[in-house]
Structure 1
Amino acid sequence: MKKPRITVIGSINMDLVTKTSTVPKVGETVIGESYFTIPGGKGANQAVAAARLGAEVTLIGCVGDDTFGGELKRHLAQQEVSTDYIKTISDTSTGIAAITLSEGDNSIIVVPGANNFVTPEVVKHHEHLIAKSDIVLLQLEIPLSSVLEATELAQKHNVPVILNPAPIQNLPKDLVLQVDYMTPNEHEQEMLLSNSELSAAELSQIKEKCIVTQGSKGVKLYQTEEQLIPSYPVEAVDSTGAGDSFNGALAVSLSKGMSLQEACQFANAVGALSVTKLGAQAGMPTLEEVEKFMSAY
């Protein structure tokens, strides 16, 4: 069977992770338990998730000409993500995310760095990759104008687009109406549907595109009627990257021709497995692990 061909356009970061039992208040210093540097960024995370599940994945993005940039490109290549279209930007730092882990949850500060250089011109230059994709996967950690350019090019070539609208911001009407699927959490969906520029019919159309992730509760769909696809109960170790795992898995399963309900069930299993290990990419399961996990249910 032909491997799903997925193009991810998005961020590449190094995650600087601190684990602590107590999150400091403003002006307070606490002693942490441990510190790690872990490959991350929503674009890279989703690319690795899809590659682990057997897809042929190309990542379009930018890194800086620093130690993190070289390390991240080598790591992505080891994960069998094509790095041929990752550009190294001179005199610029690679993007980072400062992550604090406490009691199984996380708080994150992202500094985009080289991710800001994923411009519409860069996206346009890679139109040939978009044209031959089964699905294009996008997020909002690169310039919004580039996300819109990628969506318009995908629509031109009849390639479906999944938009993970995170971190959430005000989105142009053209973008939300053009994408095929959106994967907000509950807060992000609320913001998407509060756009005063949209008519009632357009709001209804956007709501039907939403696959709303609700953590341990599962995901909510709005196709012919509201439907909850339940998640799988697991003991969470680190929730970082769970949403990215879900998005990568959703892209793979839809590319294989699964129904939306089947795709969400599969993606829920991937997301659940991802939180049982420390680190966004380190916790992402292989196809074999997911199939074994799902067969137990």
Structure 2
Amino acid sequence: MSKEIVVVGSLNLDMVARVPRNPQVGETITGTDFQRFIGGKGANQAVAAALLGGRVHMVGRHGTDGFETGLLATLREKGVGTEGMTPAAGPSGVAVILVTDEGHNSIVVIPGSNGRLCAEDVSASRERIAGAGVVLTQLETPLEALEATVAVASEAGVPVVLDPAPARALPAELLAKIDWITPNETEAALLLGGTVPSDDEVRGFAERLLGLGPKNVVLKLGERGAYLATASGVRELVPAIKVKPVDSTAAGDALNGAFAAALMRGADALEAVRFGVAAASLSVTRAGAIPSLPTLKELEAFRLEFA
């Protein structure tokens, strides 16, 4: 039996509005649809990995506003263990998402209960984290919790994947303990300073990200795919599968969850990134965050179709 994937991160209520375009400052526009989903980068990545065959457990905080019942039930229905989810009095985390007709999204996150995750919560799940095969982390919860998670995992020799979103400056000593950092183009630009990399600049961006301290980089490039740069010297662009996009909200989370699931099945880094890119490509053909995430059967059929 493969080792467990532990996700330390956020659980949100996603409120998604479809719009013809993003409004200008001070402008009111008419949307075309509104839906509510379970979300949060932590929950998205946990479900993505579970649907693809991973044994997954989530560590985080949930609110006490009534939304938490449905959010936790959905996690369990998707195969994610929730014993590490503890209550924080007050509202749940919320994400307000605008999705354009072209499938592009803009997101505002209100942390709510996610902002209460602390080192003590991580300590309570110390044994599970230390026994994991890989730990997935993001930046929608306090830095204190991330640092505690990385410390436990690093001491136990468990690899840590960091999705640095929302992007912010991170301590060098923390980055040096990260095994995999997986920014998208915008996040990489914010981490390094500068603009989103062109095709010719991708490798240089990846090299500079390695220079920040993490051992390996998966630079997520949207419709271009992802660029892999490893400590062992692998440098490869993995192209996305060409599809008609509907909603890109959880594409990056689909990639991270699939990447972790593939690693736990014994895939090498390049095959794990290929698996992740395929999952992301399929996810953008569907609306919503978690509703867009593929099962293993769906993803295998998709990869065969476009092989």
TM-score, normalised with respect to structure 2: 0.90
Name the structure 2 match of 1:255.
Answer: 264
Q: C-alpha deviations, 1:172-211, integer Å up to 9, x for none?
A: 11111101000011232233345xxxxx999537375211
Q: 1:238 to 1:115 in 2, by over 3 A?
A: same
Rounded to whole Å, the distance in 2 between the matches of 1:193 and 1:46 is 25
What pairs with 1:166-245 in structure 2 (closer than 5 Å)?
A: 166-193=165-192, 204=211, 206=213, 209-223=216-230, 224=233, 226-245=235-254
> What SS does the aligned partner of 2:281 have?
helix
Contact map agreement 1:131 1:159 (CA 8 A) in 2: yes
Contact map agreement 2:228 2:273 (CA 8 A) in 1: no
Count of matched residue positions in the alignment of Structure 1 and Structure 2 = 291
Rounded to whole Å, the distance in 2 between the matches of 1:203 and 1:265 is 20
> What SS does the aligned partner of 2:290 have?
coil
| Alpha-carbon offset, residue 235 of structure 1 | 1.1
Q: C-alpha deviations, 1:250-282, integer Å up to 9, x for none?
A: 111112221111111011111111111110100
Q: C-alpha deviations, 1:221-243, integer Å up to 9, x for none?
A: 22325321111111111000000
Rounded to whole Å, the distance in 2 between the matches of 1:158 and 1:203 is 20
> What SS does the aligned partner of 1:292 have?
helix
Name the structure 1 match of 2:127.
Answer: 128
Contact map agreement 1:8 1:136 (CA 8 A) in 2: yes
Name the structure 2 match of 1:288.
Answer: 297
Q: Does 1:163 align with 2:170?
A: no
Counterpart among 264, 269, 272 of residue 278 in structure 2: 269
Q: 1:6 to 1:24 in 2, by over 3 A?
A: same
What pairs with 1:19-30 in structure 2 (closer than 5 Å)?
A: 19-30=18-29
Contact map agreement 2:140 2:165 (CA 8 A) in 1: yes
Higher mean alpha-carbon deviation, 252-261 vs 93-102, is at 252-261
Name the structure 2 match of 1:18.
Answer: 17
What pairs with 1:46-195 in structure 2 (closer than 5 Å)?
A: 46-90=45-89, 92-103=90-101, 104-193=103-192
Structure 1 alignment gaps of length 5 or more: 195-199
Identity over aligned residues, as a percent? 39
Contact map agreement 1:4 1:252 (CA 8 A) in 2: no
CA RMSD of aligned residues (A): 1.9
| Alpha-carbon offset, residue 71 of structure 1 | 1.3
Contact map agreement 2:172 2:213 (CA 8 A) in 1: no
Rounded to whole Å, the distance in 2 between the matches of 1:116 and 1:20 is 29
Name the structure 1 match of 2:197.
Answer: none
Off by >4 Å, runs of 4+ in structure 1: 200-203
Rounded to whole Å, the distance in 2 between the matches of 1:288 and 1:179 is 31
Structure 2 alignment gaps of length 5 or more: 194-206
Contact map agreement 1:193 1:203 (CA 8 A) in 2: no
| Alpha-carbon offset, residue 152 of structure 1 | 0.9
TM-score, normalised with respect to structure 1: 0.93
Q: 1:109 to 1:202 in 2, by over 3 A?
A: closer
